[in-house]
Amino acid sequence: KQEVTQIPAALSVPEGENLVLNCSFTDSAIYNLQWFRQDPGKGLTSLLLIQSSQREQTSGRLNASLDKSSGRSTLYIAASQPGDSATYLCAVSPGKTSGSRLTFGEGTQLTVNP
Amino acid sequence: DAGITQSPRHKVTETGTPVTLRCHQTENHRYMYWYRQDPGHGLRLIHYSYGVKDTDKGEVSDGYSVSRSKTEDFLLTLESATSSQTSVYFCAISRSDRGREQYFGPGTRLTVT
């Protein structure tokens, strides 16, 4: 059974700092890995999708990397802003089926202080 | 947001009553999913659908059933609601044209008293 772990569970940083969120998964036979953002009381917003054959993806100040063989992904946020405060979720989909049934980590709650 | 809506957005119901949640999409995606989100457990898959009338169970399917009679609608039914089904329920679709990237609806907050 796939298990996804996110460390740390919570993180508080001053504005402007660069930071890294970590995600690990136990079964390396994945199809893709997706990072989401969730604001309190809201739905999930997709940030980045990395296919299993890719090493990284970038969108603006966000960069996600994937090391499939070691079961790890990182989300790098450059020059953090108070508006980045949210919970960040990592999820993987299995490689052996055509459906994308995601297994989620419990998330990292990020607070960026002005 | 891939045109996903969920209804109702909030519901309070009593133990033992049936409840149906609706997910509607406007873009004719084949795959649809129902997840629940609970503190300490994160998001867990309840059921998913890979086409009209084609559904399968997820990790936490006991006490839930689903139906999909049209591409755009995916219904989740709690046959006899229990307090353990108090949760936030999210519907999602995956886009095959974007590497199966998943997009989520706004969620339904269900309270079973």
pLDDT at A75: 97
pLDDT at A8: 92
Kindly report the three-state secondary structure assignment for every residue of B61-112. CCCEEEEEEECCEEEEEECCCCHHHCEEEEEEEEEHHHCCEEEECCCEEEEE
Which residue of B41, B42, B45 is in closest CB contact with A101? B45
Coil, helix or strand for A77?
A: strand
Question: Is there a contact between B99 and A42 if contact means CB atoms under 8 Å apart?
Answer: no
Question: Is there a contact between B40 and A42 if contact means CB atoms under 8 Å apart?
Answer: no
pLDDT at A100: 75
pLDDT at A96: 66
**Contacts of residue B94 in chain A, CB cutoff 8 Å?**
99-100
Please give, rounded to a whole number of angstroms, the shortest distance from the CA of A113 to a CA of chain B: 24
pLDDT at A98: 61
Question: Is there a contact between B31 and A100 if contact means CB atoms under 8 Å apart?
Answer: yes
Alpha-carbon dihedral B82, B54, B33, B56, rounded to 10 degrees: 60
**Contacts of residue A101 in chain B, CB cutoff 8 Å?**
33, 45, 48, 58
pLDDT in tens, A48-101: 999 999 999 999 999 999 999 999 999 999 999 999 999 999 999 987 666 678
Q: Which residue out of A4, A54, A102 would a mutagenesis test of the B interface target, given it has the greatest number of B Cβ atoms within 10 Å?
A: A102
Question: Is there a contact between B50 and A99 if contact means CB atoms under 8 Å apart?
Answer: yes
Query: How far is residue A47's CA from residue A57's CA, in Å, rounded to a whole number?
Result: 10
Residue where the block lists tokens 């309070």: B12
pLDDT in tens, A1-12: 899 999 999 999
**Average pLDDT per block of 10 residues along chain B, 113 residues long:** 89 97 94 95 94 92 96 97 98 87 96 97
Question: Cα B98 to chain center, whole Å?
Answer: 21
Question: Is there a contact between B31 and A99 if contact means CB atoms under 8 Å apart?
Answer: yes
Choose among A95, A84, A102, A82: nearest CA to A23.
A102
**Contacts of residue A36 in chain B, CB cutoff 8 Å?**
104
